[in-house]
A and B are shown apart, each in its own frame.
Chain A
Amino acid sequence: MKRVNSTPRPGWKAFAQSVGFNFHTFDGEPYWDESAYYQFSLQQIEQDLEDPTEELHQMALDLVDDIVSNEQKLRLLGIPQRFWDAVLASWRSKEPHLYGRMDFSYNGTGPAKLLELNYDTPTSLYETGFFQWVWLEDQLMRGELPQGADQFNSLQDKLQQAFSELNLPQPFYFASVTESIEDKGTVDYLMDIALQAGLNCRYIQLEQLGDIDGQLVDLEGFPVQGLFKLYPWEFMLQEEFASTILTSQTQFIEPLWKCLLSNKGILPLLWQKYQGHPNLLPAFFDDGSSLQNGWVRKPLLSREGANIELLTSDGKTLKQDGPYNDSGYIRQALAPLPKFADSYTLIGSWVVADSAAGICIREDNSMITKDSSRFLPHIILD
């Protein structure tokens, strides 16, 4: 694994705009960054990332079975009691799931360490599955990359396959929050793939979803029988339409049971069950005591690095403020992100259905990866 400087393709921004990548720059700072790429060996990809991803995924699924009927664990994860039966039912009836992403600290040697699971509303999907893929093809065509360079990125293929096999109700609706162009970009990409898989797809703004007598309906009053929602379950469970979730005849992607896996409480539970697993970091529910050197405190529910407190092994504190300070916390042993050039590097590893489906790389100037962290492409070359 190494970082290689590279010349950005001339005119890539205009190209990005033309293919719907409207968030390639974030608050004036580059988000998509092709001034460098990461290079892995095939062995690093397959043995250190792909295989552990599938293994950890299975471990997480096994854990769901332990949680759904265990009051104490449901309580630890902060799942509201009125939804326990619905969570259990969604798991028992095997409501299918589509995708997820796990984040790793990995420097090219030794086991990748699982930092967290993003199993409900993972984003940076389009950048990974499409834009990164096109970058590789372009650079190969231009002779800027050695022939034979590959990429661990079967994301779009696998998503399309999943959409064609999931047997979803149609029309199938996709919803995201009106304000977020990034979320809309992610949903547009998923709809595009679903369309290619032959689905009849419709977009609806999340805020426009209606309720008639406990049934979710679209703008015209038609029942919404299938819904992809790029909106966290823990939000939905505390909003005005929370009770609609219990009564509406709607198949959700991700399904309700995914609220267990998008919760960072899953990390201590994984550690309890699989203590010592090479890809896991010691993790515990937070007891409120002060943080020791070499530990990280994370909210049960948060995204984009928000509300994380990190104490390095030599006692330096890093704190990221954010809007997710209203849930419990966990603490996890620190696996410092490796530093390449002047940046800290995080690897996101995608899961579609139950298969590992590729990686994405984020760089930040700090050890806490955030929504503003740069996205860099990668190649596989031996």
Chain B
Amino acid sequence: MTTTKTFKRSKTARLIMMVPAAGMVLAGCGEKPVEVQVFNSPDECAAYYNPPAECEAAFDDAKALHPLVAPRYASRQECETDFGTGQCETAPVLAANNTVPAEQTQQSQQSSGFFMPMMMGFMAGQMLNRSGMAGAPQQQATANRSPVPNQPLYKSRDDRSTFRTATNTAVASQSGTTSIRPSAVQPKPAAMARRGGFGAQAAQRNVSSNGG
């Protein structure tokens, strides 16, 4: 009997994520880590053989971003619980609901009533290669040149040695070069999202599944 049979079932049915042995595949999502530098101050940055002007520029970028992305707290006490006594300041009113950098306007005067941690360092993602001072001091131009924007870093109360992004991603425990997945360190607006707007019916009806 030589019939060429067409099967009614899938040719293969493999799993790559649900099966633990192969679970690694998901972890990186194919994203390549990039090198960035983290510093406490522009001076420290310059001491690591970086062009001082670029260190200043990266620091300025981070400082401008700081009020936009720093986590916000309703009270100083709540903020200090996370970041330590004397480590918090009042947060300014956010301009509209603008996304990230834009031009920094004179918004820092008016207090929003919220509190935020002080900036404790910065990440330079757009530093030119160390091959010396390239002409244009601020290669700010094409923002997507580096996948990692310059940004402020913070240190939590119970872990003073670790630099963290505004969204609490630990990036390094010492100054200098570190390797990072760009998607993990994208600055986000600190605007508060409302949450929990879906799911009430499921909770109320107490069903084991919402499918059928």
Contact = CB atoms under 8 A, between A and B. Distances in A.
Interface of A: 18-20, 26, 42, 45, 118, 121-124, 129-130, 133-134, 136, 148, 150-158, 175-180, 182-183, 186, 188-189, 191-192, 195-196, 200, 206-213, 217, 220-222, 229-232, 235-236, 238-241, 244, 302-304, 306, 323-324, 358, 371, 380
25 contacts: A118-B211, A118-B212, A123-B209, A150-B7, A150-B9, A179-B202, A182-B208, A182-B211, A183-B211, A191-B17, A195-B16, A206-B198, A206-B199, A212-B192, A221-B193, A229-B198, A231-B198, A235-B200, A235-B202, A238-B201, A240-B200, A302-B212, A303-B211, A304-B209, A380-B8
Given A150-B8, A206-B199, A240-B200, A121 B211 contact: yes
Contacts of A371: 207-209, 212
B176 to A, nearest CB: 26
Interface of B: 5, 7-20, 25-26, 29, 97, 167, 186, 188-189, 191-212
Contacts of A176: 210
Given A20-B15, A156-B10, A192-B18, A182 B197 contact: no
A244 B15 CA distance: 34
Given A133-B13, A153-B9, 14 more contacts: A42-B8, A118-B212, A124-B211, A151-B8, A180-B208, A188-B17, A206-B199, A207-B195, A208-B195, A212-B193, A221-B191, A231-B199, A235-B202, A303-B211
A154 B196 CA distance: 37
Contacts of B15: 19-20, 130, 189, 192
A235 B197 CA distance: 11
Q: Which 7 A-B pairs have the closest CB atoms?
A: A123-B211, A210-B193, A241-B197, A303-B212, A20-B18, A323-B205, A235-B201
B207 A189 contact: no
B13 A129 contact: yes
Contacts of B193: 210-212, 217, 221
A133 B212 contact: no
Contacts of A177: 199, 202, 210
A192 B20 CA distance: 12
A256 B97 CA distance: 28
A220 B11 CA distance: 39
Contacts of A150: 5, 7-9
A14 to B, nearest CB: 13
B79 to A, nearest CB: 19
B207 A323 contact: yes
Given A208-B195, A209-B198, A213-B97, A221 B8 contact: no
A195 B26 contact: yes
Nearest to B183: A171
Nearest to A244: B197
A196 B25 CA distance: 10
A123 B20 CA distance: 23
B212 A239 contact: no
Contacts of A154: 8-10
Nearest to B190: A221
A105 B207 CA distance: 25
Nearest to A129: B13
Nearest to B14: A196
B210 A232 contact: yes
Contact of B10 (A45, A148, A153, A221): A153
A207 B9 contact: no
Contacts of B205: 323-324
Contacts of B208: 26, 180, 182, 371
Give the most central of B5, B15, B210: most A CB within 10 Å: B210
B13 A303 contact: no
A206 B18 CA distance: 20
Contact of B167 (A118, A220, A236): A220
B195 A210 contact: yes
Given A19-B15, A154-B9, A231-B198, A221 B189 contact: yes
B27 to A, nearest CB: 12
Given A213-B97, A303-B211, A192 B17 contact: yes
Contacts of B203: 179
Given A154-B9, A157-B11, A304 B198 contact: no
B211 A122 contact: yes
B16 A196 contact: yes
A121 B209 CA distance: 10
Nearest to B169: A220
A45 B8 CA distance: 9
A207 B199 contact: yes
A218 B7 CA distance: 41
Give the most central of B26, B167, B189, B212: most A CB within 10 Å: B212
Nearest to A262: B212
